[in-house]
Amino acid sequence: MSSDASSPLAEPAPAAGGGGRLVLGCTPIGNPGDASPRLLAALAGADVVAAEDTRRLHRLCAALGVTPAGRVTSYHEHNEDTRTADLVAAVQAGHTVLLVTDAGMPSVSDPGYRLVRACGEAGLAVTALPGPSAVLTALALSGLPSDRFAFEGFAPRKPGERARAFAGLADERRTLVFFESPHRTAATLQAMAEGFGAERPAAVCRELTKTYEEVVRAPLGELAAWAAEREVRGEVCLVVAGAPAATGGDADPAALVREVLLRVEDGERLKDAAAAVAQRSGVAKRELYDLAVRRRAE
């Protein structure tokens, strides 16, 4: 098995039939046994396998008992800009390029969308081998409504940016799915409890499909306390219920004032921020403005 992490892409032999294409290969999110027969065939037969981490690809191939016949090269966030053109050129030359990431579907919070876009703009064929998805697996296991949901990727790392992001999502009616690193899970759950409300239903989905898979379902306040009391390990997905239908009489004034002040921190005038939040929540603009002024004075 050959690999390359830095040198330019060598020209592989043309694919059978002469038609080049990009194939997005969905890899297991934890259990190698979840690899599809189509993925195994693609790994064995592609002219080029572009992997987010070639070492992880080698381990996956060893677990699956497959040896790529084509060239293996790296494709990750640090070389996307330079390597994309090489891969597009390979497809244009009639080769089959298989793109895989460390886990799940390429381009979903992983490298890939730039290459898909470049191939599309060049009029080249792009297809996908569907398979395991941490987003959908966590959503299904959460026990929360799954008819409408939004994937938000990783929450911002900085506390202020994270608080503003959650304030902007506080009234989102769809179920929300996030990825998170284990060492930031407790802080993120605490910020969610503050931004969405401690009673908002949620689930922590950890190590999905692996030996120590764990799903903890509880209100955000309880989950924040749960995470603070232990060392959270492994791959983590956080699933949060959408906001209940808001009415003017049910709105939490303190939460609305926090949203107003966060918008002001982002550069909005206080009057404009109060007007925007008032229009959405049904609370009187003047009431929100006065509350925000008093809160700032405190």
Question: Is 276 part of any domain?
Answer: yes
C-alpha distances in Å from residue 123, one per residue of 9, 21, 74, 169: 21, 10, 24, 37
Question: Is 247 part of any domain?
Answer: no
Per-residue pLDDT reduced to its tens digit, 183-211: 999 999 999 999 999 999 999 999 999 99
Dig out the tokens for 162 from the structure.
């994270």
pLDDT at 13: 41
Residue 50 sits at φ, ψ, to 5 deg, of -100, 120
Q: Are 20 and 96 in contact (CB under 8 A)?
A: yes
CATH number where 77 lies: 3.40.1010.10
- Three-state DSSP at 202 gives strand
Q: How many domains does the chain have?
A: 3
Question: Is 60 part of any domain?
Answer: yes
Confidence category of residue 71, pLDDT binned at 50, 70, 90? very high
Q: Within 10 A of 193 (CB to CB), how many other CB atoms are there?
A: 21
Q: Which of 239, 266, 39, 287 is nearest to 163 (CA)?
A: 266
pLDDT at 251: 65
User: What is this structure's pTM?
Assistant: 0.75
Dig out the tokens for 184 from the structure.
């930031």
Cα separation of 195 and 168, whole Å?
A: 9
Q: Which of 192, 180, 181 is nearest to 240 (CA)?
A: 192
The answer for residues whose C-beta is within 8 angstroms of residue 268's C-beta and 6 or more apart is 276
pLDDT at 298: 78
Per-residue pLDDT reduced to its tens digit, 122-143: 999 999 999 999 999 999 999 9
Question: Is 151 part of any domain?
Answer: yes
Question: Is 248 part of any domain?
Answer: no
The last residue of one of the domains, among 132, 157, 186, is 132
pLDDT at 8: 38
Question: Is 245 part of any domain?
Answer: no
Residues 127 and 7 in one domain: yes
Per-residue pLDDT reduced to its tens digit, 72-84: 999 998 999 899 9
Per-residue pLDDT reduced to its tens digit, 232-281: 999 999 999 998 765 545 567 888 888 889 888 888 889 888 888 887 77
Range name among 109-118, 180-189, 198-207, 280-289 with the lowest pLDDT average: 280-289
Residues 145 and 172 in one domain: yes
Residue 188: give the domain boundaries: 135-240
pLDDT at 6: 40
The last residue of one of the domains, among 97, 132, 167, is 132
Residues 191 and 211 in one domain: yes
